Structure 1
C-alpha cells in the first residue's frame, strides 16, 4: 500500500490542461455549469456524506467504494432530485464521473450553486494495491471536499475509483503533478471537463 503522510504545502505551480480534440468544442458552455458560484462567499459549505447514502446518479452506496466522491448544491434541489421528503440536501455522488454526468444531464433543468469533489491535497490518502487494480482511498468528511473549480484534476491514471477509470482532484497543483508523474494520467482544469471526456472514461 502506498500512503501519503501529510498534505503538501507551498505555492502551486500554474495548472496545465491537456485537451483531446473532441473535448474542445463547446467546453465553456458545457463544463461551466459546474462552476456555479464556487467563488461566492455565500455558497453552502460541503457536508459530511453518510456512507450508506445512495449515489444520486447511479444509486450505488457511496461508502462501499473507493476514490473521489462529490456533492452539488442546487437552489431548487427538487428540480433535479425530484419531489419528496429527502430533497433538502445536496445531490451526492460516488465518483467524479457521476458528479459530472449528473450535472451535464440536468443542466437544462438547473445548474448547481457549487459542486465539490474530494480534495486529495487536504487528506492523508493512500493507494490500495491489494486488488486487481490500484484504488484510491475514500474520504467523506466535510473538510475533505473543495470546490471542483479550485482543483487540478488527474484524469485516467492507473489508480481507479468507484467507477473504474478515475478523476482525482488536488487543490495544490504540485500534488497533482507529483501524482501524475507516479501514476500516469492527464492533467485537466475543471473548466475543461466535457461530456465527451467523461464518456470516454466509461469504455
Structure 2
C-alpha cells in the first residue's frame, strides 16, 4: 500500500516498546475509520502503549473535494507538516465525503473548519475521545 496514492485522511501510530508487524514505527494508514482507529483500539486491548498518534489536519492544507462516478472524495496529504496530534483535532463523521476505503473521519484542528465542512458535506463534529467501536460500526 502506498498511502499517498489513495484519497482521504491519513494516520500514523507510534508505540512505545512495540512496533507494527513487519517494520519499525510508525504504523501508517490510508483510512482513519477503516484502519487507523480499529488498529489503535485492537492494540490498546492487547496492552500496547500508544506513544503518539497523528492524523491529517485539513485545517492546515489546501484540500480538494471531488466527485467521480458518484463518489465524493477528499485529497490526501502526507507531508509531515500536514499532520497534527490525533487527540488535538475534531473529526467530521458520517459525511458524504469518502476516503481511501469508503466512509471516513475527516479531521480538522480548527473547530470552525470542522463545522463548516460538516455544514457543506453533512455529518457531525466529534472529538478524539468520542471515537470508539460505536462510531466505527456506523
Cα distance, 1:174 vs structure 2? 0.4
Q: CA RMSD in A?
A: 1.3
Q: What is the rounded CA distance, in whole Å, between the counterparts of 1:167 and 1:119 in structure 2?
A: 11
Question: Retained in 2: the 8 A contact 1:157–1:165?
Answer: yes
Cα distance, 1:64 vs structure 2? 2.6
Cα distance, 1:128 vs structure 2? 1.2
Count of equivalent residues = 136
Q: Normalised by the size of structure 1, how large is the TM-score?
A: 0.64
Q: Which residue of 1 aligns with 2:11?
A: 70
Q: Which residue of 2 aligns with 1:91?
A: 27
Out of 48, 59, 64, the position equivalent to 1:110 is: 48
Task: Give 5+ residue unaligned stretches, structure 2.
Answer: none
Q: Which residue of 2 aligns with 1:100?
A: 37
Q: Which has the higher strand share?
A: 2
1:170 and 2:108 aligned: yes
Q: Which residue of 1 aligns with 2:119?
A: 181
Question: Retained in 1: the 8 A contact 2:92–2:123?
Answer: yes
Q: What is the rounded CA distance, in whole Å, between the counterparts of 1:179 and 1:95 in structure 2?
A: 18
Larger radius of gyration: 1
1:123 and 2:61 aligned: yes
Task: Return the structure number with greater relative CO, CA threshold 8 A, min gap 6.
Answer: 1
Q: Which residue of 2 aligns with 1:8?
A: none
Counterparts of 1:21-170 in structure 2, within 5 Å, are 54=1, 61-78=2-19, 81-82=20-21, 86-87=23-24, 89-97=25-33, 98-107=35-44, 108-170=46-108
Cα distance, 1:186 vs structure 2? 1.1
- Segments of 4+ moved more than 2 angstroms: none
Task: Give 5+ residue unaligned stretches, structure 1.
Answer: 1-53, 55-60
Cα distance, 1:65 vs structure 2? 1.3
Question: Retained in 2: the 8 A contact 1:157–1:184?
Answer: yes
